[in-house]
Amino acid sequence: MSSRPTVQTPADPRALPMTLPLLMEKKRLGDPLVMVTAYDYPSARAAQSAAVDLVLVGDSAATTVLGHSATTPVELDEMLMLARAVRRGLSTPLLIGDLPFGSYEVSDEQAITTAMRMVKEAGCEAVKLEGGGEASVRRARAIIGAGIPVMGHVGLTPQTATALGGWKAQGRSASAARKIAAEALALQEAGCFALVFEAIPSAVTTELMTLLEIPVIGIGAGPATDGQVLVFHDLLGIRDGLGARFVKRYANLQQEMNNGVGAYAEDVRARRYPGPEHGYSIDPAELAELRNGLRS
């Protein structure tokens, strides 16, 4: 007689909460990983509805929802507030919090403290930091040593885009591609559970994937990665302009919002809104009593 327990699996595997072992299993099976950014409760609910695997509260919030021209101005307290809102909207995707610029570079102690706040105060299950240089690898190793999973990020790293020569593809020469390979391997060796490849030539990504054992999520890095990520506002068109070359727009919500608010403004100015159907009634006797009271 077997003593093995019976494992009950849900009819829809997407109903399982995403965990790090499940993430590795999906990589092993070749199941594409879906990742998206979110910055508030409604965007989190959209991610949950789509049953995505991973949700990143990205420092791209600086440009998408806070009105900055770069990601560097966003503060840790702002990121924590946004992450708490996203947490309330999720039940199954793995929630990852971006460590904003200036919140982890100074020392291992600062990095650990920031990561702990992301976990304790916002409910994140992992954090992400940018760069694969010596300092970033040390910070990643320290945070992982404190018991918090870390996602690395190589290629175009927006927090240091100025040092990289601007917002442009990285690894377009053999030496630059070797540098990205070295950074990716260093982050893997440090214990990162996954990596983001951003704005890297597709052919370079294909070569680098043969070296890596952990899941790789691409954004502008071609189809060879284990999964893809897009910024919520980019994929839904909640922004002006077309965005980066790698963005595929699945909706044009900014224009829809503009049209909706414009139609509302026109109705108010033309006194078409509110109409009788938008108001509340009062009993005629009560109204008469009110009138008499106001006259006296």
How do 126-128 and 94-98 pair as beta strands? Answer: parallel
How do 216-219 and 94-98 pair as beta strands? Answer: unpaired
Active site positions, annotated? 198
Q: 231, 209 in Cβ contact below 8 A?
A: no
CATH 3.20.20.60 fits 14-251, yes or no: yes
Q: What is the C-alpha to C-alpha distance for residues 250 and 234, in angstroms, rounded to an integer?
A: 9
In the numeric block, the tokens 């409910």 are attached to: 123
Q: 197, 217 in Cβ contact below 8 A?
A: yes
Q: 155, 197 in Cβ contact below 8 A?
A: yes
What value does the CA radius of gyration of the chain take, rounded to a whole number of Å?
A: 24
Write the pLDDT tens digit of every residue in 80-89.
Answer: 999 999 999 9
Q: What is the pLDDT of residue 1?
A: 44
Q: What is the pLDDT of residue 36?
A: 98
Q: What is the pLDDT of residue 12?
A: 62
Give me the residues paired with residue 217 across strands: 196, 227
Q: 220, 246 in Cβ contact below 8 A?
A: yes
The parts of the chain modelled with pLDDT lower than 70 are 1-14, 160-167, 242
Domain spans, the chain: 14-251, 257-295
Q: What is the pLDDT of residue 72?
A: 93
| pTM listed for this prediction | 0.90
Q: What is the C-alpha to C-alpha distance for residues 3 and 286, in angstroms, rounded to an integer?
A: 75
Q: What is the C-alpha to C-alpha distance for residues 167 and 232, in angstroms, rounded to an integer?
A: 19
